[in-house]
């Protein structure tokens, strides 16, 4: 995993994490030059809109890999290879963790020129990227490249030879974003809020040994996208002074628990938001 990061160093860095220093202004200038547009965002959040372009922008970085992708930084991954198996990947070109939309918090694409430049299939992509504010280009307009507009959804599902981007699509709900306004995989409206990570395995208190691809913190840290009738524990992380209450090296070796009370040793099992 690669971060293009405004700071030069960080002490909390695993072996599979790489940081490449880029100031925000320099990175914006690099995008402008490489895409031949005027990329002048009014906030760093606009950078989410360039996710469809990342394969093109960073071809040298991803050279030698079968797939590239993008994700949000408020996620904890489980055992990716156990769910995205070699057999699944060999028959896939694009994998999203939602059934009807490209998932901005984790999507994989085959590492070929076709998918590096898939963003060019977005009508008016230059003008959309030149808008200074965030427009969710990754989840809205980019989705249409692979699923078509609603009126073309049948063709995309049953006549894939019409469009090369309709081949090898895996759009499956992976139940990564808890407290979202749709049922859990078992049909219940209540979602599990106590999770555990150990040796790369991500599980929760309700689903036994079932492993999950990743956990997205969006609704743990903020109530912005929650239904209005949400409970007290929703958005708890946003009210904590210290979200992580254990050393990351200990967490890597012993595992950790995740709840609205933060990231903490498994034995503490905190499930409630501190007062």
pLDDT at 249: 86
Which tokens hold the place of 94?
């694009």
pLDDT above 80 (res 150)? no
273, 239 contact by CB (below 8 A): yes
pLDDT at 228: 58
pLDDT above 50 (res 85)? yes
Rounded to an integer, the average pLDDT of 102-109 is: 96
pLDDT above 80 (res 222)? no
pLDDT in tens, 157-181: 556 567 788 889 999 999 998 888 8
Q: Which residue has the higher pLDDT, 150 or 33?
A: 33
pLDDT at 12: 61
DSSP character string of the chain = -EEEESSS--S---TT-EEEE--HHHHHHHHHHHHTS----SSGGGGGGGGGGHHHHTTTTTTT-SEEEEE-SSEEE--HHHHS-HHHHHT-SEEESSSSS--TTEEEEESSHHHHTGGGGSTTHHHHHHSSS---TTTTHHHHHHH--GGGHHHHHH-GGG-GGGTTEEE-----BTT-SS--TTS-S-----EEEETTEEEESSSTT---SEEE-HHHH-STTS-TT--TTTTGGGG-S-SB-S-HHHHHHH-EEEETTEEE-GGG---S---
Rounded to an integer, the average pLDDT of 22-34 is: 92
pLDDT above 80 (res 3)? no
Rounded to an integer, the average pLDDT of 239-260 is: 86
- Least trusted range by pLDDT, from 70-79, 99-108, 159-168: 159-168
pLDDT above 70 (res 211)? yes
pLDDT at 275: 42
- Least trusted range by pLDDT, from 7-21, 22-36, 134-148, 185-199: 7-21
pLDDT above 60 (res 131)? yes
Banded model confidence at residue 265, pLDDT cuts 50, 70, 90? very high
What pTM does this model have?
0.87
> What is the rounded average pLDDT for all residues in the chain?
86
């Amino acid at each position: 995993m690669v971060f293009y990061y405004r700071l030069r160093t960080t002490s909390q860095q695993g072996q599979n994490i790489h940081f490449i220093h880029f100031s925000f202004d320099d990175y914006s200038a690099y995008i402008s030059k490489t895409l031949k547009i005027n990329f002048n965002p009014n906030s760093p959040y606009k950078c989410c809109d360039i996710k469809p372009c990342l394969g093109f922008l960073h071809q040298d970085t991803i050279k030698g890999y079968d797939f590239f992708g993008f994700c949000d930084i408020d996620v904890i991954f489980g055992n990716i290879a156990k769910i995205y198996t070699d057999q699944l990947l060999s028959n896939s070109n694009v994998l999203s963790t939602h059934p009807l939309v490209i998932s901005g918090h984790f999507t994989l694409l085959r590492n070929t020129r076709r998918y590096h430049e898939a963003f060019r299939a977005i009508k008016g992509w230059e003008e959309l990227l030149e808008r200074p504010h965030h427009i969710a280009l990754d989840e809205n307009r980019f989705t249409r490249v692979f699923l078509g507009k609603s009126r073309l959804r049948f063709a995309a599902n049953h006549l894939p030879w019409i469009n090369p981007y309709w081949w090898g699509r895996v759009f499956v709900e992976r139940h990564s974003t808890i407290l979202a306004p749709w049922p859990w995989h078992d049909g219940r409206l209540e979602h599990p809020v106590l999770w555990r990570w150990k040796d790369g395995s991500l599980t929760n208190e309700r689903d036994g040994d079932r492993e999950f691809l990743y956990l997205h913190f969006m609704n743990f840290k903020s109530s912005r996208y929650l239904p209005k009738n949400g409970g007290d524990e929703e958005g708890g992380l946003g009210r904590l002074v210290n979200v992580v209450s254990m050393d990351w090296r200990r967490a890597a070796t012993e595992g950790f628990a995740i709840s609205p009370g933060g990231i903490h040793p498994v034995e503490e099992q905190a499930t409630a938001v501190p007062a």
